[in-house]
Amino acid sequence: MKLKFLKQKWQKLTFNFVLIPATVLFIIALILNQYLAPILATELRDAVLTGSDSLYHADFSKAELHLLEGKVTFYNINMVPDTALYNKRKQQHVANNNLVTLHVKKLVLQHVHPFSYYFRKKLRINEIILNEPELNVSYSLNHTQDTVLKDHRTAWQKISKVLHSIQIDHIYLNDVKFKYEDYSGHKLAISTLKEMNISVTDLLIDSLTQTDKSRFSYCKEIVTELNNYTGKTDNGLYDYKIKYLKLSTLTSKLNITGLQFEPAKSDIFFYKTESDRVSVGIDSLQLNNFDYLLYHKYRIVAASSLQLHNGWLKVSNNPNKTKKNDADAVSTFPNMIVRNTNADITIDTVRLKNIGVEYAEFNSDSKKTGTVLFNHTSGSFYNVTTNKKAIEKNNITRADLSSYFMNRGYLTTQFLFNLTDKDAAFSYKGSLGPFAANKVNQASMALAMVKISSGSVKQFNFDIKANSKVFKGDVSLLYNDLKVSLLKADTAHNQLKKQSLMSIFANLFVIKRNNPDAAGVAPRISHVVYERPKNSPFFKTIWRTLLTGIKPAVGLDEKSKSAANQRIAQHNQNKKDRLIKKAERKKHREERKLEKEQGR
């Protein structure tokens, strides 16, 4: 049958030279699709088996090859480990720490170059997409350093007889369901992640990249992103949340935004435990030069620096602590936290910027909670480590911090923590600049039952050497025109009430209005020796030590208060005596009057 639509010569030429070859090519492609698909399937199985040293087996239900599109699709892929071989390697102490199981509903290979594969032995793929993969990883600490199997060849050496190279431009794992089981501790820890995406850029396995240390698992970059991760601690007292996390192997940076660690409501928290209540929130966290491969293999955190920007740390003293509780709160000291931490962490420098620190304590005498604030705290911690070898080289962690005390006075402090001392020795010193004295009422009214009516602080200095047993050092408070009101608890009205008479006596006979007392006179310095109660935690003991030094500086030490009480007691006794004498005189006058009337 003649093709009547081919009337023009150019149409016939087009048909002969374009359409006919295209049709033939299409027919050949259909044949090759059916022929190559099973071959490609076999290659995939063999590649997984060879690349994992026979540890993993891959299988799938169906494979489709579209030669003209350069597209390959696999359905219901499963990659599972050979547990018998894994257990055998565990006995030989050569098993990997991580064991992986993977299930993918659909895997798409875009823009595959089959001719490059069959004629040049180079596997070239532009893009691989894994939709809704389910990834399960179990971690056991089988060894703490790299072990070598009998087959210690690189990945390229293993495939070089079959393939000259493997190159994949992009790999995308979308909506990953990730389950992580950690068997390394005393108790199985399970984490489940959703809303996680993983992207891989420029995976290249050839003779050059087999020794390229700038690549991670032969990839130029692997990026992991996690959104809206939430969880709860085992005891149910804390919820934690990460709004967004990004890890890049190319930049070796881990970035987190919206990190929160929030305790249960106060009444529930303090009912269930006698621990102090802690709340942490960080807007931005960045870990630099993070050795992800070391963490992946051995759960070791090693980085050059950690930056924390904008956030808060709130600590609330537990009001329900009983005197019967003889647990030593030295565990709250930072150097003891380091000692008791199982994690292996080494960070050269931790930098803080604009972190608000708040310590709140309930006073059983005043029935009120006092709060000490350190606003806009910034600074650096040096040599933050739990690694034993690193501690042997340098056992001191130093912190240089600046802050605004009660959001007013500029405060600079330095802490030195001894990481090996059996008594958790450390020291802290600092200097606080000028501020209005009444700004501390938020703390002093509840904690010391003292309200500052007037006065200005010129400078506050402290230098304390401490350990788990005793805090010793010097405290110097320079101020002018100090006046106070002494308070007592009014339980009937749930408030603090001014002790008028006591306040008058305190300001007249006890409180030292100025320090130094006069120009040219040396200022008073308090030498503090504060024995830490066994159940007193870190923040509380620091505050109590400083308060112990402040009180005698202003005349509110126990000796001065005792003298004031004696004066008041004597005043009351004198008043009582005067009233008694007055009553006796009145009685005597009435008796004389009565005698006169009877004499008449």
**Secondary structure (H, E, C), 367-423:** CEEEEEEEEEEEEEEEEEECCHHHHHHCCEEEEEEEEEECCCEEEEEEEEEECCCCC
pLDDT score at 462: 96
The partner residues of 525 in beta bridges, in order of sequence, read none
Label residues 278-316 b or e (16+ Cβ within 10 Å = b). Answer: bebbbbebbbbebebeebebbbbbbbebbbbbebbbbbb
| Helix/strand/coil percentages in the chain, nearest 5 | 30, 45, 25
**In terms of Cα–Cα distance, which of 278, 282, 347, 279 is closest to 309?**
282
Angle between helices 558-599 and 538-554 (to 10 degrees): 50
Per the CB < 8 A criterion, the answer to whether 345 and 389 are in contact is no
Cβ 453 vs Cβ 483: under 8 Å: yes
Question: Position of tokens 């299988």?
Answer: 59
In a 3-state reduction of DSSP, which class is residue 109?
strand
Distance from C-alpha of 438 to C-alpha of 415, rounded to nearest angstrom? 27
CA 219 to chain centre: 29
Rounded to an integer, what distance in angstroms lies between the CA atom of residue 406 and that of residue 435?
Answer: 9
**Per-residue pLDDT tens over the stretch 497-535:** 887 777 776 777 678 889 998 888 888 899 999 999 998
State residue 389 phi and psi, 5-degree precision. -65, -40
Q: What is the pLDDT of residues 75-113, one digit of tens each?
A: 888 888 888 888 888 888 788 888 888 888 888 888 877
At 536 the three-state DSSP class reads: coil
Please give the chain's pLDDT, 600 residues, in tens. Answer: 444 444 544 444 444 444 444 434 444 344 344 445 565 666 667 767 776 778 888 888 887 777 667 788 888 888 888 888 888 888 887 888 888 888 888 888 888 777 777 778 888 889 988 888 888 888 887 766 665 555 677 777 877 877 788 888 998 988 888 888 888 777 777 778 888 898 989 989 888 888 888 888 888 999 999 999 888 887 889 999 999 999 999 999 999 999 999 999 988 998 888 888 999 999 999 999 999 888 888 889 999 999 999 999 999 988 887 655 677 889 999 999 988 888 899 999 999 999 999 999 888 888 888 999 999 999 999 999 999 999 999 999 999 999 999 999 999 999 999 999 999 999 999 999 999 999 999 988 888 888 888 999 999 999 999 999 999 999 999 999 999 888 888 777 778 888 777 777 677 767 888 999 888 888 889 999 999 999 888 988 998 899 888 888 887 666 666 666 676 677 677 777 777 777 777 777 777 777 776 665
Q: Tokens 């802490």 label which residue?
A: 415
Q: What whole-number distance in Å separates Cα of residue 194 and Cα of residue 226? A: 8
Residue 565, pLDDT score: 66
Q: Which amino acid is at 246?
A: K
Contacts of 308 (CB under 8 A, 6+ apart): 282, 284, 285, 350, 351, 352, 353, 355
Contacts for 57 with CB less than 8 Å, ≥ 6 apart: 45, 48, 49, 79, 80, 81, 82
